[in-house]
Chains A and B, each alone.
Chain A
Amino acid sequence: MKLRVLAVGVWLPGVADNAVWLSGAHMDTQAPPAAALLPPMTRRRCSALTRALADVFGQVTAATDRAQVCSVFASAYGETGVLAELLEQLALGEDLSPIRFSGSVHNSAAGQVSIVCGNRALTTSIAAGRDTVALALLEAQGLLRDGVAQVAVVCGDVQPPTGLSSERFSPLAAGLLLDAAPSNGDELALLADLMEDAMLADAASLPEAVWANPCCGALLLADTVLRQRSLRIGLSPHGGQGWGVDVTLAMPPPPEAA
C-alpha cells in the first residue's frame, strides 16, 4: 500500500518552516514555535511541545480542510516540560495548576488542535520510544487502509527535565500529510510499506543534538521529501526495532496517447 505525501512541515529552534530548513540559514534563537494556528491566549498557556506540534500540524494542513482531517500525534516522552512544573508544585505543597494539569496529558496538542480547528474527526496520540515515528506512520497507514481520506502525522519531542534524565537533545517537530489515493504526480513523494530491520540512511549531516531527538526520524523523512530524494529512511535511528520506509519521488503521469 503506497501512501502519497501531500505536505511536510518541520520546526526546530531557529527553523520556523521548510524554507528555512532547506536554506540552511538557521536563526540563532531559542524562540518558541509561532504556532499561529492557536489563539494568542491559548498559545501562551500551551507547553513548548504542544506549540511545536500545533505549529507543524498547521504547516502540513495549510492547504487542506482542518476541520475534517484525521491526525496522529506522536512523542516518545510527551509533555515533559509540564511535568517539571507540576513536580515543582508538588514539592512545594502547592495546589496543582488546573491548566498545567490538563495540559500535562500526552494528547494535549491533539486536544488543542481539534478545538481550534473545530475538528471532530478521529485523533490519536501515541508513544513508542525509539520506534515512535515508525508506529505513528503505521497508525496512519491503518487509518488510510480503513478508508479515512487524509491523515496528518505530527511527531516531536522536547528534552526531559535535566534533573530526571541525562539525555540531552534539541527539541524538534516534523510531520506529513498523507493519503492513499493513486499517484497522479501531484504529490510530493510516495511512501512504501514500513519495513523492519531496514538499513539506515546516513544522517551524519544532522547536528548531534538533533540526531539524538527520539523523533529525529520524522525530520529525516521530511528532509528527504523536501530535497526530492528517493531514499530508504531509517525511522528508528537510535535503536528500537529498526523500522524504515522507502521514499520515492512521484512520477508525472504519462502523456495521454494521441
Chain B
Amino acid sequence: MDRAPPIAVVDFAAVSACGPTREDLAAALLGGRSGLRNADDFGLPFATAVGALPFDLPAPTSDLPCLQPRIARMVAHLLASLETPLSRARRGFGDRRIGIALGTSNAGMPETESADRHRRATGALPLTYDFAAQHAYDGVVMATRELTGIAGPGLVVSTACSSGAKAFAVAERWLRLGVVDAVLVGGVDPLCQMTLRGFHGLGVLSSTACRPFAAGRDGISIGEGGALFLLQRQGTAMAHVCGVGESSDAHHQSAPHPEGEGAALAMQRVLDRSGLRSSDVDHINAHGTATPLNDAAEAKAIAQVFGNEVPVVSTKGYTGHLLGAAGAVEAAIAIVCLRDQFLPASLGAQDGDATLGISINTHSRQTRLRAIASNSFAFGGNNACVILGAP
C-alpha cells in the first residue's frame, strides 16, 4: 500500500475507570493506580473485576432516543471537553467537511438488555426504547451528529476489540480521499451483561483484576469508557497518527494465532505504511489482555517485528479491556505518554512471565519517546496496530 503522511491530532478526550478526564487517566498511569474493582454489584453468578466508570454520567440534554443510551452519554461527556476545537473546525471547514468514525462493539446493548427484561416481565417494550436509534451501531453516530452539528460522512467500525484502532484507519482514508478536512474519530463501549457473561462462557475472564504478561495471568477484566480525537490533515498537533496497519489471522474465530502471525503482519504493515523503522518506535502499548494465549502470541509477534528490547506495557490493568473502545483509549494513553515523555508500569506484571522473551516494563519512568505503537486484536482474528508520534 502507498505510504501515508502523518495526520494531526488536534485535541482529544478520554473517559475510563480511571476517571472522567484524560488527566485522570494520566495521573493513574503515573501513580500506578488501577481503576478495576470487584463486580459485586453486577448481579453475576461468578466473581470478576470490572473497569466501570467511577462517576455518574450527566443526564441527556433532550428526550431524543439516540441520546439516551449509556454509550451516547459517554460521547456527550467526551464532547464537552472538545467543544472549543470542534467549534473551530466547524467554522473553518464547515459541518459537511467533518466526518465521524467511531469504533464500538457493544453499542446500545445495555439498553437492549434492559428493554428485553422489561418486555419479558410486562409483555411490552419500554415506551422509550428505540431499536434503530439505541441498539443499532449507527445510534452513536446519530447522537454525535445531534450533539455536534457535524454533517459529513459517519460510520461505526465494529470489528470487536480492534474497532477503536481501525476507526483511525477510516479517518486516514477519508482524509486522503479528500472527502473531509477533519474527522472526529474514536471508540466508545459500555459495560453490559452480555459481554461479561459471554467472556465468562469462553473461560477467559479473570476472577480478579487482570494481570497482563504475568506468569500467573488468568484472563481478562472488562472495562468501559472511550476516547475521541479531532484529526486534521494539518493543524497544531498534540501528536501525529503516523499510520495504521490492519490484518487478519485467518486462524480462529475467538483465539489468536499461536505464533502471532496475523498480529505481526499488522505491526509490519504500519511500519511499511508510515515509513518508520522498527527502531523508530520507542514503546509498544500491547493489546495485552492477560489471557495466557493472547499474551504469549502477542509477545512472539512483537519480538518478531520490534525485537526483544523495546519496552512493552499493557494498560489493561488500569482500565480493563474496553473492547471496541480499547484501541481509542490506548491511543489516548499513547498520546499522554508522548506528551509527558513517560513510560507507565505494566500493572500486574510484577510477577513477569520470563518465557515471553520481551521487555515488559514493570516500573514507571521518564524516558525519551518519539513514537509508540498501540496494538488491538479481536475476535475473527482481526488485528490493527496504530503508531502515534510526538509532534
Contact = CB atoms under 8 A, between A and B. Distances in A.
Contacts of A101: 194, 198-199, 201-202
A107 B253 CA distance: 10
B141 to A, nearest CB: 7
A18 interface: no
Contacts of A132: 138, 155
B222 interface: no
Contacts, number: 202
B113 interface: yes
Contacts of A145: 173, 176-177
Interface in B139-185: 141-142, 151, 153-160, 166, 169-170, 173-174, 176-177, 179
Contacts of A97: 201
Contact of A124 (B141, B176, B194, B246): B246
Contact of B179 (A103, A105, A117, A138): A138
B198 A104 contact: yes
Interface in B196-247: 197-203, 246-247
A37 to B, nearest CB: 14
Contact of A115 (B131, B142, B156, B253): B253
B253 A86 contact: no
Interface in B353-388: 378-382
A210 B279 CA distance: 54
A164 interface: yes
B1 A146 contact: yes
Interface string A99-132: 0011111111011101101111111111111111
B80 interface: no
Interface residues of A, number: 61
Interface in A111-163: 111-112, 114-115, 117-132, 135, 138-139, 141-143, 145-148, 160, 163
A76 B131 CA distance: 12
A146 B176 contact: yes
Contacts of B177: 1, 138, 141-142, 145
A124 B137 contact: no
B382 A111 contact: yes
Contact of B136 (A98, A127, A143, A148): A127
Interface string A214-250: 0000000000000000000000000001000000000
B277 interface: no
Interface stretch (A9-17, A87-95, A200-208): A87-95
A96 B131 contact: no
A102 B379 CA distance: 7
A164 B254 CA distance: 28
A186 interface: no
B115 interface: yes
B88 interface: no
Nearest to A121: B248
A110 B160 CA distance: 11
A244 B177 CA distance: 17
Contacts of B390: none
Contacts of A131: 153-155
Contact of B248 (A105, A119, A146, A165): A119
Given A90-B197, A103-B253, A127 B247 contact: no
Given A123-B382, A160-B131, 14 more contacts: A86-B198, A87-B112, A103-B253, A105-B158, A115-B381, A120-B265, A125-B158, A127-B136, A127-B138, A129-B138, A135-B154, A147-B2, A167-B131, A196-B96
The 10 closest A-B pairs by CB, nearest first: A111-B380, A142-B173, A129-B138, A106-B158, A101-B198, A127-B137, A165-B131, A102-B254, A114-B248, A128-B155
22 contacts: A77-B136, A90-B197, A95-B201, A98-B198, A98-B201, A101-B202, A102-B198, A102-B202, A106-B105, A110-B248, A111-B381, A114-B249, A117-B250, A120-B247, A127-B156, A131-B153, A138-B153, A138-B177, A139-B170, A164-B115, A165-B131, A167-B131
